[in-house]
Amino acid sequence: SETLSEITKCIRQAVFSGNPTGFEDSGSIAFDHHFNSPGKQMRSRVCVKASEALGLDYNFSLHLAATVEALHNASLILDDFQDGALERRGSPTVCALFGRDVALTLTLRLTTASFVCLTSSPKAQNLNKLVNEVHRVVTETSIGQIRDLDPTRKTNAEDLKLTASLKSGPLFGLSISLPLIAAGFHGHVEKTYKIAQLFGLGYQILDDMSDSAGDSLQAADSNLVNCWSRDLGKDMATTHAFESAEKYLNQAKSLALELPHGCGTAIAGLITQLQQSES
């Protein structure tokens, strides 16, 4: 849509705003390659709709959504860098096509560009709190990624659930917490942390269900379904996984619908779509 195209444009402008004229920049080609397959942009959609529900300026809402989307794509490129992945969204990864150096520097530039997106709207407000919130989410996501890659980590179900919620949840939560902070609803922000934790966990369990066969071949298998299979057997583990995902997603949806002015409706709708696609 036009809105999503504007968000990508905002990110690109922020990423390359510091590049002196006439400087060759391989990151530009890598950026365009990665964003040519932008995915569903679920976080952007949720952020824009939440901002609209809270009465925020449209331009400001685009910048908030661009902040979240820049960080999400930074995490994807870093993920591929760390995993040595060759393909994402049906195309070669940035790391596979342009090399590890370009992938790492583009990750860094997207991360710092998220702060440029956040602060460059003329309608920006509550910036100190917004910047702190972005930093909190980057920290949580980074901890989740480190836990996921740590070969000495525990591999019991409870430990894997914590890792899953840290890896998958914070950026979804940021899609709602930023509009709430920008609109001055600071008292409701903590609830978004719980929504993010529950949503991230349910989302990751469903993802683990589809990836269980491939993950079982990895030396460091952090798949929750495979973990449960060792105790319950494959069939019971699959049933348990589906029921657990439903429980966490329903709890997240219920909390989202309690947020002011219906700003959680978008993420509640996203949860419903996710559940319907897996049923």
Give the CB-side neighbour count of residue 265, counting CA atoms within 13 A: 11
C-alpha closest to that of 176 among 252, 235, 123 = 252
Q: What is the pTM of this model?
A: 0.90
**pLDDT tens, position by position, 156-190:** 888 888 888 888 889 999 999 999 999 999 999 99
Vertex 50 angle, CA 45 and 54, to 5°: 150
Split at pLDDT 50, 70, 90, the class of 213 is low
77 neighbors 94 (Cβ within 8 angstroms): yes
Name the 3-class secondary structure at 219. coil
pLDDT of 152 strictly over 90: no
pLDDT of 16 strictly over 90: no
Name the 3-class secondary structure at 102. helix
User: Which H/E stretch holds residue 87?
Assistant: strand 87-88
Backbone torsions φ then ψ of 213, nearest 5 degrees: -65, -50
Instruction: State how far the Cα of 34 lies from the Cα of 11, in Å rounded to an integer.
Output: 12
pLDDT of 135 strictly over 70: yes
Instruction: State how far the Cα of 262 lies from the Cα of 268, in Å rounded to an integer.
Output: 10
DSSP-H helix ranges across the chain: 2-15, 26-35, 42-53, 58-83, 94-98, 100-119, 127-149, 157-168, 170-182, 189-215, 224-232, 234-256, 265-278
